[in-house]
A and B are shown apart, each in its own frame.
Chain A
Amino acid sequence: MTDHGLRTGTVAPTSAGPIDFGPDGILFVADNVAATVHAVDVADPGAAAASEPFDLDDVDARIGSLLGSDAADVAIRDLAVHPTTHNVYLSVQRGHGAAGTAVLVRIDRVDASISEVLLVDVPLATLAITDAPAEDDERQDVTLPLGAHEGEELPVGERTIRIQRSAIRTSTITDMAYVDGMLFVAGLSNEEFSSKLRRYPFPFTGRAADNNLEIFHVSHGQWETAAPIRVFVPYDDGRSILASYTCTPVVHFSLADLRSGTKVVGRTVAELGPLNQPLDMVSFVQDGAEHLLIANTSHGLLTIACADIDRQEPLTQMTEPVGVPRKTEELPGVVRLDNFGEGYVLALQRDDSGRHHLRSLKVSSL
């Protein structure tokens, strides 16, 4: 494999964020507190897998057993399946507050063994997310660090105290996807209501400032709005993106339309309904036709045919059902999705008691 600009290094993510596989088994790992994305060669030890199902109950309790914590102290932030071995990677926040740590976990799909993936002396490259605390924002919060070695020393008179500077403005990465040499990153600012979708060339070049894209969308032909993209999925061989927003419209835009510094208005093709939040999206091929699967907070999994998206006129009428036809799978509580070979989609499901399970969904049955 090519080195993709990776160099041997060690990193300890401070917070567990989204993860997504890129080319050649490289995993993108977002660290929201540090406002960075690490590209890591995880050197997956597994063999190439056929398309077989994999199910595992109580995955949070199992991870807690490994990490020495109750399931209640395990927050699974994201799920990614290795494209070749189908081993399962989970981005996990263990504990809360000062005791909280970010951990990357691998579950072997053959024997369900669970191990921690240490990012120590591994090939990696790190990207600083622009538009996080930037040069034009000098505001910082100064606190006394909890540890004896964190932060920096500051002379005060004849004494020296240790302080920690933290940016006040932050940008929380909500989703990532790799498309044809570009890493797309959606995020949520803790200040402005921005709809920026960032894209960074990979291998990382350190340049991305000219790649912030403001994606607008139109509601029912009457109101043009911008909002943070919560989750998105590339499809049509990377030519299109379907994005879902915090305010629930599902919007199509073409990657060919994206030009830096220009305003992009997507085509609103559906709404997910009131009091609903998009959680994850994945594309799959069924009988030769591409479909999208959308996990959300209020309904079961929604399946949409990409051909219907292409046919869907921009929404102009406020009538039910709103937008592109969709099929609802009666599988409640799915919070994360990823492809599991061509034959399955792997879902992380939260049941009524708060336990989390991995479930294989057969593509031909969706």
Chain B
Amino acid sequence: MTPAGPGVRIEIRPASAAGAGAGPGWPATTGAVVVDGADACFVPRHPFLAGTTYAVRVDGTETLLHRAGIDTPATAHVVGIHPTCPTVPRNLLRCYVEFDRPMSEGFAARSVRLIEANGTELVDALLPTEPELWDGARRRLTVLLDPGRIKRGLVGHRAVGYPLPTGGDVRLVIDERMRDADGRPLRAAAQRSYRVGADERRPIDPTAWTVPPPPTGTGDDLVVRFDRPLDHALLGRCLRVLDPLGAPVPGRATPGPQDRSWRLSPARPWRAGEHRLVVDPVLEDLAGNSVTRVFDRELDRPGGRTPPPASVPFLLA
């Protein structure tokens, strides 16, 4: 019971719990009662939730009050789905879904799905993660394919096989049931289609990249081309260029189309001398292979522990 003004008792519960029971195990909603003259105002400790019905009992008389749901139009939409390349390896590990505004957690499991070309949902292909993997602003969702079905030798891989169908076509679908931070659905569903290609089991080898040196004295972009698409998110932070003195070259870095390249627009003209493209070893490709390790390394395969190159030199004449 929540005491109110003289002789008045106010008790509030969600209607769904109002008839469940009494006693200390079924507490009334916590809050404070502010008495203003003849009026008593209940201030909940946590704001009343939209779409919830409350049972308000005042001096033994109960009234149901419904707090309206969000009725403003849906505006949130998907602005990006990565990878962006048309063909992904069969052992694809990770996708990213980007939204134009902050979203709510707790809806991805029902809203994000992989669907085959014939319309069949690939059940159990995606790894349920609780809590979901969002960036700090809740605008980018990381979606993992079940690694237990990708890793060779594990029971999941042997018994159920790869999450993606060999040689087939799939769509990653984000339907309207996703909710934005205000609880509204998406304005429209979004999807991206992929052809499922061969496995990618090689470590990332920066020496296989092309790094054509830009002309000295110009502000031309440096464009690094990879031998395969790389992870979109990691590409955003794992590469940098050092000048001949070892100082980072300032500029604007952006992943290229399909994450097959990386472009650095320098903030100042290029200087002559040996530069180095430095690679953070955590950089991964679409299948989770990094510079330092492959996703699952065969122990009897030689060369698995060869130290990877930490950087790629290129000379500006």
Contact = CB atoms under 8 A, between A and B. Distances in A.
Contacts, number: 250
Contacts of B84: none
Given A192-B282, A227-B147, A246-B127, A64 B14 contact: yes
Contacts of A360: none
Contacts of A70: 14, 16-17, 49, 52
B199 interface: no
Contact of B155 (A169, A225, A274): A274
Interface string B25-56: 11111110000000000001111111010100
Contacts of A277: 127-128
B239 to A, nearest CB: 12
Interface of B is mostly: loop
B69 to A, nearest CB: 12
Interface in A93-116: 93-101, 103, 108, 111-116
Interface stretch (B262-270, B289-297, B308-316): B289-297
A222 B24 CA distance: 57
B111 to A, nearest CB: 13
Contacts of A226: 293
B29 A67 contact: yes
Nearest to B47: A99
Given A99-B183, A220-B153, A274-B156, A68 B49 contact: yes
Contacts of B181: 97-98, 146
Contact of A58 (B13, B20, B138): B20
B88 interface: no
A276 B160 CA distance: 12
Interface in B117-152: 124, 127-129, 131, 133-140, 142, 144, 146-152
B102 A143 contact: yes
A179 interface: no
Interface residues of A, number: 82
Nearest to B28: A65
Interface stretch (B164-172, B189-197, B217-225, B229-237): B229-237
A169 B135 contact: yes
Given A99-B49, A113-B25, A191 B158 contact: no
B49 A95 contact: yes
Interface in A7-55: 15, 17, 32-33
B12 interface: yes
Nearest to B27: A66
A225 B136 CA distance: 28
A247 interface: yes
A303 interface: no
Given A274-B156, A274-B160, A225 B14 contact: no
B259 interface: no
5 contacts: A62-B20, A69-B46, A194-B282, A225-B151, A274-B159
- Counting from the closest, the 6 A-B pairs by CB-CB distance are A166-B136, A113-B24, A97-B104, A97-B181, A166-B137, A112-B25
Given A192-B234, A273-B155, A297-B128, 13 more contacts: A68-B14, A93-B105, A99-B49, A111-B23, A116-B45, A167-B136, A168-B136, A190-B140, A190-B233, A193-B94, A247-B146, A274-B158, A318-B155
Interface of A: 15, 17, 32-33, 56, 58, 61-62, 64-71, 73, 75, 77, 93-101, 103, 108, 111-116, 133, 136-141, 143, 146, 164, 166-170, 172, 188-194, 218-227, 246-249, 271, 273-277, 297, 318, 322
